[in-house]
Amino acid sequence: MSQPTHVCHHSETYDEPRGEMVPIDLSSAPVHPPNAKAHANGVNGHNKLNGVNGTNGANGHAAPPMKSPAKQFNPYAPRYADFLSNVSNFNIIESTLREGEQFANAFFDTETKIKIAKALDAFGVEYIELTSPAASEQSRADCEAICKLGLRAKILTHIRCHMDDARIAVETGVDGVDVVIGTSSFLREFSHGKDMAYITRTAIEVIEFVKSKGIEVRFSSEDSFRSDLVDLLSIYQTVDKIGVNRVGIADTVGCANPRQVYDLVRTLRGVVSCDIEIHLHNDTGCAIANAFCALEAGATHIDTSVLGIGERVGITPLGGLIACLYAANPEYVKAKYNLPALRELENLVAEAVEVSVPFCNPITGYCAFTHKAGIHAKAILNNPSTYEILKPEDFGLTRYVSIGHRLTGWNAVKSRVEQLQLKLTDDQIKDVTAKIKELADVRTQSMEDVDTLLRVYHSGVESGELELGQRHILDRLLEKHRSQSQERVSAAA
């Protein structure tokens, strides 16, 4: 393994941290049963709910695998089934090419759109949502081009609740149309200025028109969490009765909290029999958790975008949602999506919109699997599950333990000593760890620094020059090593 001396923090695409880190051999991690097992029959009776959840599964391009016996692999999953929950039975509506196009930095040319659509399809999302063909000439042409790619994912476009837009949309060849209108009094007053009677009339006209073309149609309110609940449930019940495939709830301003989302979705679940989609903005950082709660309450479809790009700070990020759902049911998520493709997908979009993948991004943040504190390092080396709910190897990534810092512990150092095949007792390792901490109090030590110290300590012990606690002798040996290295460098120059 190459060992550069420091982490490059500012490259466009982060590398994993190396420097002072110990890469951990993943082959010792507990082995997963093969994915095929995820298709075994569910054990929690949830499958019986398909009727209640309307067309879920039938709408997707492929029926999702049956619920896996999650308890078998995840000892911390809930012990009893929650019959409303779709945490192990959902579809993703990926909106990087619609909501994501509304991100301040986004400008996707046709070639980029096609690349992103193909990468999303390779990852395995069930739906890809595109900007309305009514937005501009090029938007229409791009929508038609993507429909012709023959992807596995179904292609949707997203339009205002208006017959003009609907007519243009159905001509593009999409598999479905997502219709939206603002229903909050705020939007009714300050945006379109229409009343609920007008909204209902138009909604029915547009839905019946789209359905007459034999493709899917969703009806969604905008700003649902600031809409009158009675208005909202009333229009959803109406469109459900005329056969809409899905109704959507949108937290357009990002104001909802998890319990509000749970409550609203749960209430709606009791009112309509069709599928329920949820679209959540991330202004207060709750979009992933809100999506999870929506699934728990019976939602069937979650809107995402890659890295969460969208209006303002964006919406539920695809990768973060995957992390959250993987934590709940790893086997189901692994069977459903090509997880090692996530990183490349995120890099593709990050490059297209000229942002960096955030350091704190779930899964692919460049230190998401780096462990630093001494007590963490010890436990991780014994059993990675102690401090990890996500297995890096499932995402094609690697775990690191950082040891050259003042919070380090002797167990992490011991692991490195073993990797270097040096023979030291535990007491000797504790002794040299104290020296690492002393040096790291002044400056974080690179892997080379740590390795040099370990080798010098080891040779001092081997030669009988060094015993436990003899810091001054260790200092002298280190000094001697450094001057010899310097001479070698000078001689070579």
Residue 313 lies near a copy of itself (rule: CB under 8 A): yes
Among 90, 127, 225, 236, interactor with a copy of itself by CB under 8 A: 225
Q: Which of 46, 371, 376, 405 is catalytic?
A: 376
Catalytic annotation on 376?
yes
Listed in order, strand segments (DSSP E) in 81-171 are 91-94, 127-130, 154-160
Closest CA to 70 of 54, 58, 85: 85
Closest CA to 250 of 328, 208, 204, 187: 187
Residue 124 lies near a copy of itself (rule: CB under 8 A): no
Residue 371 lies near a copy of itself (rule: CB under 8 A): yes
Scanning residues 24 to 63, which ones bind a copy of itself (CB under 8 A)? Answer: none
- Please state the closest distance from residue 84 (CB atom) to a copy of itself, in A: 12
Cα first-last separation, the chain: 26
Ordered alpha helix ranges (H), 256-328:
258-269, 287-296, 318-328
- Which residue, 44 or 245, has its beta carbon nearer to a copy of itself? 44
Among 56, 89, 112, 139, interactor with a copy of itself by CB under 8 A: 139
Closest CA to 90 of 398, 390, 297, 400: 297
Q: Which residues have C-beta within 8 Å of that of residue 370, sequence separation ≥ 6?
A: 17, 21, 399, 400, 401, 402
- Interacting stretch for a copy of itself, rule CB under 8 A, among 48-56, 237-245, 318-326, 417-425? 318-326
- Which residue, 28 or 136, has its beta carbon nearer to a copy of itself? 136
Distance, CA of 485 to CA of 472 (rounded, Å) = 20
- Please state the closest distance from residue 483 (CB atom) to a copy of itself, in A: 27
Q: Residues 69, 40: contact at Cβ < 8 Å?
A: yes
State which amino acid sits at residue 428: Q
- Which residue, 189 or 427, has its beta carbon nearer to a copy of itself? 189
Contact mark string toward a copy of itself, 84..123, x via CB under 8 A: -----------------xxxxx-x----------------
Residue 23 lies near a copy of itself (rule: CB under 8 A): no
Among 407, 452, 459, 470, interactor with a copy of itself by CB under 8 A: 407
Which H helix or E strand runs over 198? helix 196-212
Scanning residues 154 to 213, which ones bind a copy of itself (CB under 8 A)? Answer: 160, 182, 186-187, 189-192
- Interacting stretch for a copy of itself, rule CB under 8 A, among 52-60, 435-443, 457-465, 478-486? 435-443
Distance, CA of 130 to CA of 140 (rounded, Å) = 10
- Interacting stretch for a copy of itself, rule CB under 8 A, among 35-43, 132-140, 242-250, 341-349? 132-140
Residue 337 lies near a copy of itself (rule: CB under 8 A): no
Q: Residues 14, 357: contact at Cβ < 8 Å?
A: yes
Distance, CA of 61 to CA of 154 (rounded, Å) = 6
Ordered alpha helix ranges (H), 270-341:
287-296, 318-328, 330-336
Among 123, 332, 337, 369, interactor with a copy of itself by CB under 8 A: 369
Distance, CA of 165 to CA of 230 (rounded, Å) = 28
- Please state the closest distance from residue 317 (CB atom) to a copy of itself, in A: 7
Q: Do the strands 301-304 and 275-280 form a parallel or antiparallel pair, or are they unpaired?
A: parallel
- Interacting stretch for a copy of itself, rule CB under 8 A, among 161-169, 326-334, 450-458, 475-483? 326-334
- DSSP string for 121-142: HHHT-SEEEE--TTS-HHHHHH
Scanning residues 234 to 293, which ones bind a copy of itself (CB under 8 A)? Answer: 252-255, 257-259, 262, 282-286, 288-290, 292-293
Total chain residues near a copy of itself (CB under 8 A): 106
- Which residue, 65 or 310, has its beta carbon nearer to a copy of itself? 310
Q: Count CB neighbours of 277 within 10 A.
A: 24
Scanning residues 455 to 484, which ones bind a copy of itself (CB under 8 A)? Answer: none
- Please state the closest distance from residue 324 (CB atom) to a copy of itself, in A: 4
Distance, CA of 257 to CA of 278 (rounded, Å) = 13
Among 365, 394, 419, 448, interactor with a copy of itself by CB under 8 A: 365
Q: Residues 204, 235: contact at Cβ < 8 Å?
A: no
Tokens of 72: 């078998």
Among 165, 223, 275, 303, interactor with a copy of itself by CB under 8 A: 223
Which residues carry out catalysis?
A: 376
